[in-house]
Amino acid sequence: MAGNLRGRHFLKLLDFSPSEIRNLLSLSAALKANKRAGVRGRALEGKSIALIFEKPSTRTRCAFTVACVDEGAHPEYLGKGDIQLGKKETVADTARVLGRMFDGIQFRGFAHQTVETLAAHAGVPVWNGLTDTWHPTQILADLLTVSEEFGRLDGLALAYVGDGRNNMANSLMVGCAKLGMDVRIVAPGALHPDPGLVKTVEGICAETGGSVTVTADVARGVAGAHAVYTDVWASMGEEAKIAERVALLRPYKVTPEMMEATGRREAIFLHCLPAFHSLETEVARQFPDICEVSDEVFEGPRSRVFDEAENRLHTIKAVMVATLGR
Ligand code: CP
Ligand code: NVA
C-alpha cells in the first residue's frame, strides 16, 4: 500500500515525495483500523529490530517496541550505556555489525550525521527516531491526527508556536509543505528557522500549492489556523538554556486566548509531548515559568495530544512495514 518503499531508510521527510508520505498515512490508518478490530499483523514476522537510544524516550521507544511485537518482530533496546557507538567503535563499524545481525535499525540521538552514517553502512533500513535536526516519524503522527480531525490536509493551516529552529519546527515545515498545507512558524527572531531550510520549503510549496510563513507576530501567525502546535522551549540536550528560552518565549505560550485568536471554533491543539503544562513535574517545579502551554488548553476540549501520541504507534508501524515488511 505504501508503494515502493521497500529497503528505503526513513531519515528525514525531505527524502520522500508527497505521494510516498500520503501512502504512509493511508497505511497507518489501515494498520490502526486493523489493530482496533483485533486483527494481528505478521508483516515483520521473524525480523529482529535494533532500537538505539542516545536520548531518553517514552513514545518513540514504546511505539517501535509495540509495533514490532504487533507485527511479529523481535525488538532489542540498545541504550546509551549498552553499546560502543562512537565511543570505542566508529559509528560505521557498529552499523556494519548490527546490519549483519538485525533486519532494521532505529536510532534516536544527537547529531543527525550519526543516523546518516548508520544508514550509509548498515545495509538494512535505518529509521530516525529523532535527532537534533529532524523528527520525521512524529510528523506522520501529527498529519494523521490532523487528517482524522478535518478529513483532509490540503489547504489546512497549521501554526507552530515556540522554538522555531528545533527538530519539530524543521520537520513540520517540510511535512506540511509536502502535503500542500499552509504552515506558519511563529517564534521570536532569535529562534527563527535556518533561512536555507525556509528557502527549500518555499521551493516545495511552489510544487505542492502549500505556503510557509515565518513571523514573530503571534496574532498574525495563528489567525485562521486549524491547528496550533507547540513543543518544549528547550529540547533534549539544551537544558542549560532553559532560563534564556523562558525569557524569550514567554509571550509565545499557548493559552486559551491564543486558541481564540485563530478565529476558528474548530481549531485543535497539538503537541509532540512530553509537555510542560503544570507544575507537577520535577523540572517545572524548578523553573515555574517553563510551561509552553497552559493546563487549560492542554486538558481542554481542543486538545488532541493523546490521539497524536497513540498515532505514533500506527505511523511508526507503517514505516517499518512499508520499508521492511512482507
Ligand atoms: N514525541 C516523542 O518523540 O516522545 P518521546 O520523546 O517520549 O519519544
Ligand atoms: N524538540 C523536542 C522534541 C521531543 C519529542 C526535543 O528534541 O527534545
pLDDT tens digits, 32-47: 999 999 998 999 999 9
Q: Could you give the 3-state DSSP secondary structure of residue 269?
A: strand
pLDDT at 1 over 90: no
* Mean pLDDT in residue range 277-283: 96
Atom of ligand 1 at shortest range from CA of 61: 8
Q: Grid coordinates standing for 268? A: 485543535
Count up the domains in the chain and report the number.
Answer: 2
> Is 231 marked active-site?
yes
pLDDT at 289 over 80: yes
Please indicate, yes or no, whether residues 10 and 148 belong to a single structural domain of this protein.
Answer: no
Choose the weakest-confidence range: 83-87, 177-181, 224-228, 310-314. Answer: 83-87
* Mean pLDDT in residue range 109-116: 98
Residue reference for cell 489567525: 223
Where do runs of H (alpha helix) occur along the chain? 18-36, 59-70, 91-101, 112-122, 136-150, 167-178, 195-208, 218-222, 242-249, 256-260, 282-286, 295-298, 305-324
169 lines ligand 2 (CB under 6 A): no
* The one catalytic residue among 22, 61, 135, 302: 135
> Is 307 marked active-site?
no
Please indicate, yes or no, whether residues 56 and 165 belong to a single structural domain of this protein.
Answer: no
Note the pTM of the prediction, 2 decimals: 0.98
Contact 72, 44 (CB under 8 A): yes
* Mean pLDDT in residue range 286-294: 97
pLDDT at 87 over 90: no
* Mean pLDDT in residue range 102-118: 98
pLDDT in tens, 145-167: 999 999 999 999 999 999 999 99
Q: Could you give the 3-state DSSP secondary structure of residue 230?
A: strand
Q: What is the CATH number of the domain that holds 80?
A: 3.40.50.1370
pLDDT at 251 over 70: yes
Which pLDDT does position 112 carry in this prediction? 98
pLDDT at 299 over 60: yes
> Is 302 marked active-site?
no
Provide the sign of the torsion angle of the four alpha carbons 290, 168, 141, 326, taken in this order. Answer: negative
Please indicate, yes or no, whether residues 174 and 276 belong to a single structural domain of this protein.
Answer: yes
Please indicate, yes or no, whether residues 278 and 179 belong to a single structural domain of this protein.
Answer: yes
Strand order in the sheet with 48-53: 74-79, 48-53, 104-108, 126-128
Q: How far apart are CA 86 and CA 26, in angstroms?
A: 37
Task: Please report, rounded to a whole number, the percentage of residues in the chain having pLDDT higher than 70.
Answer: 99
Please indicate, yes or no, whether residues 155 and 110 belong to a single structural domain of this protein.
Answer: no
Which ligand has its closest atom nearest to the C-alpha of 134? 2
pLDDT at 202 over 70: yes
Cβ-proximal residues to 97 (8 Å cutoff; 6+ apart), any chain: none
Please indicate, yes or no, whether residues 146 and 86 belong to a single structural domain of this protein.
Answer: no
Mean pLDDT for the chain overall: 97
- 55 C-alpha to ligand 2 centroid (Å): 10
* The one catalytic residue among 68, 176, 272, 291: 272
236 lines ligand 2 (CB under 6 A): yes
Please indicate, yes or no, whether residues 201 and 211 belong to a single structural domain of this protein.
Answer: yes
- Nearest C-alpha to atom 7 of ligand 2 is from which residue? 235
Q: Report the pocket of ligand 1 as residue ranges, CB < 6 Å.
A: 57-60, 130, 138, 272-274
Ligand 1: which of 51, 52, 59, 270 to mutate, most ligand atoms within 8 Å of CB?
59
Atom of ligand 1 at shortest range from CA of 272: 1
> Is 250 marked active-site?
no
Phi-psi region of 81 (alpha: psi -120 to 50; beta: other; left: phi over 0): alpha
Please indicate, yes or no, whether residues 291 and 181 belong to a single structural domain of this protein.
Answer: yes
Q: Could you give the 3-state DSSP secondary structure of residue 100?
A: helix
Residue reference for cell 509531548: 273
Which pLDDT does position 58 carry in this prediction? 98
Cis peptide, bond prior to residue 274, ω within 30 of zero: yes
230 lines ligand 2 (CB under 6 A): no
Where do runs of H (alpha helix) occur along 233-294? 242-249, 256-260, 282-286
- Nearest C-alpha to atom 1 of ligand 1 is from which residue? 272
Q: What is the CA radius of gyration of the chain?
A: 19
Where do runs of H (alpha helix) occur along 37-102? 59-70, 91-101
Residue reference for cell 529532524: 134
> Is 138 marked active-site?
yes
* Mean pLDDT in residue range 290-299: 98
Cα 255 from chain centroid?
A: 22
pLDDT in tens, 218-247: 999 999 999 999 999 999 999 999 999 999
The partner residues of 85 in beta bridges, in order of sequence, read 89
Q: How far apart are CA 143 and CA 148, in angstroms?
A: 8
Please indicate, yes or no, whether residues 285 and 315 belong to a single structural domain of this protein.
Answer: no
Which pLDDT does position 104 carry in this prediction? 98
Ligand 2: which of 132, 139, 231 to mutate, most ligand atoms within 8 Å of CB?
231
DSSP-assigned letter for residue 39: P
pLDDT at 3 over 80: no
pLDDT in tens, 117-133: 999 999 999 999 999 99
Q: How far apart are CA 138 and CA 314, in angstroms?
A: 11
Task: Please report, rounded to a whole number, the percentage of residues in the chain having pLDDT higher than 90.
Answer: 97
Please indicate, yes or no, whether residues 217 and 75 belong to a single structural domain of this protein.
Answer: no
pLDDT at 141 over 50: yes
Atom of ligand 2 at shortest range from CA of 138: 5
Q: Cβ–Cβ contacts within 10 Å for residue 104, how many?
A: 28
Please indicate, yes or no, whether residues 153 and 198 belong to a single structural domain of this protein.
Answer: yes
Please indicate, yes or no, whether residues 168 and 106 belong to a single structural domain of this protein.
Answer: no
Contact 121, 95 (CB under 8 A): yes
Q: Grid coordinates standing for 170? A: 524543521
Domain containing 232: what range?
138-308
